[in-house]
A and B are shown apart, each in its own frame.
Chain A
Amino acid sequence: MGTFIPNTKEEQLKMLNEIGYKDFDDLFKHIPAEAKVKGKLNLPEGKSEIEVDRIVSGLAAKNTVFRSIFRGAGAYNHYVPSAVDAIANKEEFLTAYTPYQAEISQGILQSIFEYQTMIAELTDMDIANASLYDGASAAAEACAMFKDRKHSTIYVSEAVDERIRTVINTYSFGRNTEVKIVPKKNGVTDKAELEKMLAEDPASACFLMQYPNYYGIIEDADELCKITHDNDAKFIMYVNPISMGVLKTPGEIGADACIGEGQPLGLGLEFGGPYLGFLAANQKFMRQIPGRLIGETVDSKGDRGFVLTLQAREQHIRREKASSNICSNEALCALKAGIYMSTIGPKGLKQVATLCSSKAHYMADELAKAGLERSHDGEFFNEFATKCADADKLLAALEAKGILGGLKLECGCILWCCTELNTREDIDEVIATVKEVF
């Protein structure tokens, strides 16, 4: 049996006796007998570290790790610089709790303050919070920020990833809030429809769009923002953080809040988690922001320090009136994102964004030449959809070569994604496979 209990049986018995108990049964005698487990748990016997290592490694070995990945759709295969895990796995960071005791938690508090600053810089927004669970739940929380007595309906573009929309719907089922889908047309939000829907609804709270959208297309965010604001609703952008290296930012566009999936910022694919929801907003919505916020202050000597602040928004103080119930968030993932952004710097951010865009454009051109035309017009960043006569056949052929192809969409199209990790040779190999298959 593996154990992490330091005290021996003899020591335990001595301690029990010292505080007036005969044995463990005596210690638990106050629990009603009818409540107690009869017999033993039906679980395997405990194991040594070597046995456990063997079993779990065996499970890992049953999975396929693709050598070349062209699938995104919410999880992106970016390079994780060596420094990220080496630093984030320092035990002081890894094994600490939420920094409630500021005097001995300055390291964590400062790292999150730096992260908040970097996210604000990345998105060009005024302020950012300490993190949320993932992009999809961050989207749901952002929508809830703008619900008040007079405004409650949430509008979401149909060109937003269905996974994100599902989480928004689930949260809204809880809050009894109505969610309306603004239809898409040619792969982008139907502007006329948005205009019409918002104009007809004095109770509209906000409109959420994805940038680039689920199909990879960079929508006309300026125009969508204007329509939303003209109709007295708040404008929320769900952004790909890497695209911020080149695309016009939510701050420049005038968004009220910006959220996104922080996974591309130094986190692995990890079979879907833990990821990182980031949230940034205009200053005037500071008190509607859910989750932890770290603020700068001074100590009793006047030295700079950092604390959890504006806590009266939160569940442990405001209880049933809190803006959200979130407490544990994704601090270690935020730390990783901070290290990632420090590693690449402003130059690297632009470089990685340019690499992603360039490779995707090369691939789209080559696929078109090989007969896989794009499904939509419209400018794209690093994802794009193509038509395909038999997506299953192509994806199976790629898989046989150790390549994870794009994601098959309901329409039978394939949603492709490129990152800086896809070399020209990798892309050419996909093209060659397309030519073999069709």
Chain B
Amino acid sequence: MKLIFEKSISGRGQDIFPACDVPEVLPKVELRKTTAHLPEISENEMGRHYTALAKRAHGVNDGFYPLGSCTMKHNPRINEKMASLPGFVNLHPLQPAHTVKGANELISGLEAALCEITGMDAVTFQPAAGAHGEFTGLLLIKAYHQDRGDFERNEIIVPDSAHGTNPASATMAGFKTIEIKSNENGMVDLESLKEKLGPHTAGLMLTNPNTVGLFDENIMEITRLVHEAGGLCYYDGANLNAVMGIVRPADIGFDVIHMNLHKTFSTPHGGGGPGSGPCGCKEFLKPFIPGLTCKDGKEYTRAEKSIGNMTGFYGNFLVMVKAYTYILTLGAEGIPAASSNAVLNANYMQEKLKDIYPVAFDTTCMHEFVLCLQDIYKDTHVSALDVAKALLDYGIHPPTMYFPLIVHEALMIEPTETETKETMDEAITAFREIYDLLRKEPEAVQACPQTTPVLRLDEVKAAREPVLKYKFD
């Protein structure tokens, strides 16, 4: 399909701006000599261009999206409606506090709800995404230790099953990443943890349920050991959708958490953001919280020993509006019910697939589970990637591939609570048909997909000869 620049014809365009009603004055400095090659296109042609692009995309509303670790649940329409209210959209972030009482009330209300769900004492909405929340949480840990005069704690312990953002965030926060092994059950190896704990331990970052979808049975022991060594416990809330109203991170020994409003709290992902990654913490970390907040409707204040700011203003406010709308809708009973059904759906799919696709750890999972296609690959040379690509021809978005790193040929499946049994049954049938095919005709699976707008793309060429923008003649 053509790029929008290839549809551009000189002299065409759209009339948006009025004539100037004051004398035209430009600054008396050296001005731009080049012309920006922006498209020149009518509204109709532009609309069709983007509609054609939309048809070449796949969202939750297009079909099943069991992308593990990403919680692709339904994005309620009411959320969008509320976030488009003029009383939110048209607020300048630097308006006087008394003119934005409703907005700040909403932020406080959301903070209170998230504190109740996580057990934490405060939440900052400064972080714009999950990884940004991790970075924020780690800076709180750093500031806490330094404030106590302890500059020796420069290590963050991270399990080998962790998301890549964990070690990357640790580096951004100036910590050295210390990796610990998972045991044969996919959980933290306590001996490995004990070995690594010491006077340099600033904290532990843990995803729980972990990235293979299991709730760590030793969780209380783990957080106790870290605290005994003088470290703090960071909860990566990427998988919070498994435990809302069932387990509260603060109750099981965690001191800091980030949540992904764009996963757990039903705000849409927008093809890669905007998200919102609020960071919660216990009382003793409150003095270090970033950003300005307004609790009394009168003035903005900053925490006493604030680490500063993560974003220019207050974080992704409209995303907060959507999450607040969601929490109001579900309420005290609906929130645990969502998690319960997410866990049920995952176990249902796991049970219906594990006879042919071995699960990495054969036990009750939480909201997601991981298939291990290593033996299938050895037998047939059909890889996890091939199976994923075959699912595309069924109109199903593939699971997360090749993650976590501790499972070879991994496919990580997270159905979420908003899928019906029928949808999952159809997906199970697709998985089973692909399995039959890969046993009979492995080449056919390796040649998938066949029905998509483009076939498999040459990623090596893209990386070896990077073309990152359109080349105008």
Contacts and interface: CB of A to CB of B under 8 A. Distances in A.
A48 to B, nearest CB: 8
A96 B269 contact: yes
Contact of A124 (B34, B174, B392): B34
A41 interface: yes
A12 B325 contact: no
Interface stretch (A132-140, A151-159, A185-193, A198-206): A132-140
Given A12-B344, A32-B219, A167 B417 contact: no
Interface string B160-203: 00011101111111100100000000000000000000000000
A147 B217 CA distance: 42
A233 interface: no
Contact of B22 (A74, A344, A349, A359): A359
A421 to B, nearest CB: 10
B91 A30 contact: no
A121 B36 contact: yes
Contacts of A91: 59, 61-62
B110 to A, nearest CB: 11
Nearest to B93: A272
Interface stretch (B240-248, B371-379, B437-445): B240-248
A176 B174 contact: yes
Interface string B381-405: 0000000110010000110100100
Nearest to B82: A56
Given A1-B331, A52-B329, A65-B91, A137 B398 contact: no
Interface residues of B, number: 196
Interface residues of A, number: 200
A90 to B, nearest CB: 4
A61 interface: yes
Interface in B121-137: 128-132, 134-135
B338 A5 contact: yes
B148 interface: no
B99 A63 contact: yes
A197 interface: no
Contacts of B453: 103-104, 106
Given A19-B351, A130-B272, A252-B33, A56 B106 contact: yes
A53 interface: yes
A87 B43 CA distance: 11
Given A93-B271, A345-B41, A300 B56 contact: no
A170 B309 CA distance: 6
A295 B61 CA distance: 27
Interface stretch (A224-232, A330-338, A429-437): A330-338
Contacts of B470: 113-114, 117
Interface in B290-307: 290, 307
A398 to B, nearest CB: 11
Contacts of A20: 351
B418 A133 contact: no
A173 B308 contact: yes
Select the residue from B168, B421, B463 with max chain A CB neighbours within 10 A: B168
10 contacts: A1-B333, A20-B351, A28-B343, A96-B60, A116-B469, A166-B308, A274-B276, A324-B172, A332-B272, A346-B37
Shortest Cβ-Cβ A-B pairs, 7 listed = A272-B313, A46-B331, A60-B87, A332-B270, A62-B102, A170-B308, A95-B59
Given A102-B457, A315-B164, 15 more contacts: A27-B347, A41-B332, A52-B325, A104-B58, A105-B271, A108-B271, A118-B36, A170-B307, A300-B456, A305-B457, A316-B165, A325-B168, A339-B50, A345-B38, A399-B96
